[in-house]
Structure 1
Amino acid sequence: MQKEKGRMNELKGNVALVTGGGRGLGEAICRMLGESGATVVLTDIREELVKKIADDLRIKSIESMALPLDVGDEQQAEEAVNQVVARYGHLDILINNAGIDVTLPVDEISVADWDRIIRVNLRGPFLMSKYALSVMKQRGRGNIVNIVSTAAKRTWANASAYHASKWGLLGFSHALHVEARKQNIKVIAVISGGMRTPFLLERFPDIDLNTLQEPKNVAGTVKFVLMLPDETVIPEVMVLPMHETSWP
């Protein structure tokens, strides 16, 4: 019993902000970090989703806060970080998880959809990291985890904007790693293969579930990189289903 209690407090004292925390991988990360002792700030453009999860976490005696957030809006990104600091005094972990896609070939996808995907998937992590970094620098520590995708390693048809955003996010993550490590701030790219989440299942209802993994498995990888000793950082890690179809 004592050992179990210790595991539940592995991240005690840490305040974590998760974007896209309303469902899927974001929800799994919020629950896992909260169960590990962290204070969890759930953000999502769909406020009703994160409010419901935050209420559930509080029932379990997990300190949580729900915020509506459009990650591509500079003012909202800055205000979200400021609200966290105003309430808790610091921000230790940022999980850039929010992401969208539109499944269409290049000549059919609208310019508006292209811009929207880049705005959420690439501009969003930049904005959130920009404002979180300034707060983390004051404490001389912190973790920024960017949820990438195998879409940053290879390509398939009808996902040009998504690929562009995820290849860009991987490059941004590595560049930020070089800059931030001087301040003892870790930046990690978690490259995830397909998961059993609404992100895929709503667009591809006939997808073979056996080729996907549970989001809690990827959330476990996120927790793993956050638990590393202070002197160690893993800039990039890939976590795949055993029968991943988009990776050899």
Structure 2
Amino acid sequence: AIGIALETRRIDIFEKVIKEANHSTEMLTYAFKITMQLLQNRKFRTVVLRTLVRLYLNLQVPDFISVCQCLIFLDDPDQVAEILQTLVRGTTDQMLMAYQIGFDLYESATQQFLNKIQDALRVQAPIPILFDKPQATIKEEQQGSNGSESMETNQDEASRQSVEESTAAKDKQSLQQEHKDKVNNLSQEEKQLQERIEKLLSILSGEITIGVHMQFLIKNNHADLLILKQIK
């Protein structure tokens, strides 16, 4: 019935079949699968995905994980951010679900999508969290802006970069200490929310996933260093 409803583009029948099914969750999973595999018309697929989002949210226990999967294909980071904000302020189970969604998003969403979610979450923290621009990006920007200054010697360039990196490191330490002092002045409830959002941001940035992968590789590294040294 779902297949016929989609072929004839009868969203009303599509929605009715799912609502009246004995196993709505399984039916929704099937509907999402065939929507992504069979529907070629982007506009109609968007309508179907929006319908699925509404149906997932109307379940007795809303399936936020599936909702966020739909929203990835709908390119709607704002609604994903709203869901994560709600979950991270909730119970421990809801917080854990937010973390799981964060891991799923890191694996399947684009970097631009993730950045928009992180931007929305940062300003929702009791103490807004500053974006820590990677040092490599800073160097690239500096190289781009100074590309025309070819008269500088390599020694002067290295010296200037060393001073800039040292200043940036001191500024970062100062900001981190200031941030820590502000967090310590929060109420217990606000402090908990701050910690949850910071943890969620570290998941979305890939920091935790990369750290776990590195630990796994280090623990399972059985290479003979002497042989590697001789090969080198």
Whether TM exceeds 0.5 here: the answer is no
The structure richer in strand per residue is: 1
The structure richer in helix per residue is: 2
TM-score, normalization: structure 2? 0.27
Over alpha carbons, which structure has the higher Rg?
2
